[in-house]
Structure 1
Amino acid sequence: MKTILLIITSCLLTLNTFSQGNERLKLWPGKVPGESEAKHPAELHSDTSRNVRRITNITDPQITVYRPQAKSNGAGIIVCPGGGYRILAINIEGEEVAVHFAKLGYTVFVLEYRTPQKREGALQDAQRAIRIVRERAGDWNLNKNKIGIMGFSAGGHLAVMAATSYTKQTYDRIDKIDDISARPDFAILIYPAYTANGANKQELNPQISVTKDIPPVFIFFTADDQNDLPLPLANALRELKLPFEFHIYPKGGHGYGLRSGNVAAVAWPLLLEKWLATTIISN
């Protein structure tokens, strides 16, 4: 009986998380660019360690919309969960983040981009998502000049790629939405992966092209994260005198999202809220 009750409780919690999303929008009306597989629902991965729900084998990318639970501030955030481009940690780095920032007045869009190991497709998905959100900004009472992207781990890499490759035509035009700019107005990188390169990881990943036109960037990392410190990225931003904020906390590890019990998980949202208020909302 206790087992049945636990299962029911778990299901209710999952349904409650999804109920926060007001609508789901498919990114591609027809064939997905560069995708060889037919469209089908994402698969739930068998690994549920650390109470993380992981999805994979995504061939029909979509965004889930979380409308503000407080007075709207007019800004939209597209959230890219991490997972090494193999899976998406959809609850800890997607849904839970969306609920948190929706309570602060943001309209949040959780992006389910293609996996596994479809980096080019993932960038196409991110660009298309930015264009869709900007095109429909009026439907969500958004300022079309305050549409940003946030990513965790591999999702952080995807976010920085979207922020630096927005002039790159990654797919053939499908409709009028693709005439809209894919440049995010800000980029938030929480423990981003794959930003450093070279034998000593002192060089910027050559895929990332930092120019004077990229949007403001917020970076959060911890010293005990086993992934490469994003110092080359910060140095590239600094050399061009671009607006960015970079925080390195001593402890926290990796993959913590907003989960309680982790000092880094408590710190980064507060720091980000202040940065967004002064850099994006007040401008």
Structure 2
Amino acid sequence: MKSVLLSIMVLSMSSNVFSQQQEVIHLWPGKVPGEREAKQVAPATPDTSRGVIRLTDVTDPVLQVYKPAVRRSDAAVVVCPGGGYNILAINLEGEEVAKWLNGLGYTVFVLQYRVPKKPAGALQDVQRAIRLVRSRAAQWKITPSKVGVMGFSAGGSLSARVSTQYDKPTYTPVDAADQLSCRPAFAALIYPAYLDNGTNRTITPDLKVDTNTPPMFLFATADDPYANSALVMAGALRDAKVPVQQHLYDTGGHGYGLRPGNPAAEVWPGLMAKWLGQIIPTIK
């Protein structure tokens, strides 16, 4: 009975998540590049374990806009939820994170990128998302040069990819927004995955880290099976002399978001908030 009640509560939360949004931005006004399926509102899977809403079959990528009640910064963050490139943990690593960042005074855009198993489409989506946010910066009173990205697990992989492949053309330009850069001003990778797919668990070959890679905040735990991803990325950033702050906590596992009760979830938000306060003033 408890599991049934939880499922009902989560599904109710799911409908509220979308009804309460001030604005939803569709990334692609016409055909979605490389997408064969018709555009649709992404459905939630029946799996509501741990109170997580899992979206799947994203064929019409969107940005959900979260405006802070009190704007304390002219910076903005595009948030990429995780889910193994199969689903999007849209409340755990999207809505809840957006509301936390809103509380710090930041404008936030939660990205529903294409899943399942569409990493190439996901990169197109995040590139387009950053450009769109920059093109409409005046609307939200943000500075175009201060649009960063943040991701969890597979969303951390996607954030790393756009941070190192921002100069890679992945789609035919749609409008004037696509003339803008999609290089994030900064990136935060929380328990990122898939960054160590190189030989002997070295950095994934298509992650080309150089002096133009944006500064990064990395957080993982020693008991996370994907923890090596953060380690190899930190090493690559250090070698390229890119500002990087890395934290490896002892316990916490993977996929905890910022929900209370997990030791890692109770640590990283304070560390990242401090880092944002330090790094954003340095961005011109």
TM-score (ref. length: structure 1): 0.94
Equivalent residue letter for 2:124: Q
Tell me, yes or no, if the aligned pair for 2:10 and 2:48 is still in contact at 8 Å.
no
Distance 1:253 1:209 in 2: 28
SS of 1:35's equivalent in the other structure is coil
Quote the residue 2:134 is aligned against: 134
- Given the superposition, is the C-alpha separation of residues 147 and 111 from structure 1 closer, same or farther in structure 2, using an over 3 Å criterion? same
Tell me, yes or no, if the aligned pair for 2:78 and 2:111 is still in contact at 8 Å.
yes
* TM-fit CA distance, 1:18: 3.8
Quote the residue 2:145 is aligned against: 145
Quote the residue 1:68 is aligned against: 68
* TM-fit CA distance, 1:17: 3.8
Quote the residue 2:219 is aligned against: 220
| Identity value in percent | 53
Tell me, yes or no, if the aligned pair for 2:259 and 2:265 is still in contact at 8 Å.
yes
Residues 62-115 of structure 1: CA deviation (Å, up to 9, x unaligned): 000000122331110000000000000000000000011111100000000000
Quote the residue 1:96 is aligned against: 96
Residues 20-70 of structure 1: CA deviation (Å, up to 9, x unaligned): 531000000000011111111112111111110001000000000000122
Quote the residue 1:186 is aligned against: 186
* TM-fit CA distance, 1:4: 11
Quote the residue 1:113 is aligned against: 113
TM-score (ref. length: structure 2): 0.94
- How many residues matched? 281
Distance 1:7 1:152 in 2: 23
Quote the residue 1:255 is aligned against: 255
Distance 2:36 2:7 in 1: 37
- Given the superposition, is the C-alpha separation of residues 277 and 113 from structure 1 closer, same or farther in structure 2, using an over 3 Å criterion? same
Query: Which stretches in structure 1 are left out of the alignment for 5+ residues?
Result: none
Distance 1:253 1:42 in 2: 28
Tell me, yes or no, if the aligned pair for 2:217 and 2:245 is still in contact at 8 Å.
yes
Equivalent residue letter for 2:191: Y
- Given the superposition, is the C-alpha separation of residues 218 and 3 from structure 1 closer, same or farther in structure 2, using an over 3 Å criterion? closer
- Given the superposition, is the C-alpha separation of residues 4 and 279 from structure 1 closer, same or farther in structure 2, using an over 3 Å criterion? closer
- Given the superposition, is the C-alpha separation of residues 33 and 5 from structure 1 closer, same or farther in structure 2, using an over 3 Å criterion? closer
Equivalent residue letter for 1:129: A
Tell me, yes or no, if the aligned pair for 2:14 and 2:53 is still in contact at 8 Å.
no
34-43 or 6-15: bigger deviation: 6-15
Residues 147-198 of structure 1: CA deviation (Å, up to 9, x unaligned): 0000000000000001110000000111111101111100110000000134
* TM-fit CA distance, 1:9: 5.7
* TM-fit CA distance, 1:262: 0.6
43-52 or 155-164: bigger deviation: 43-52
Quote the residue 1:87 is aligned against: 87
Tell me, yes or no, if the aligned pair for 1:148 and 1:186 is still in contact at 8 Å.
yes
SS of 1:64's equivalent in the other structure is strand
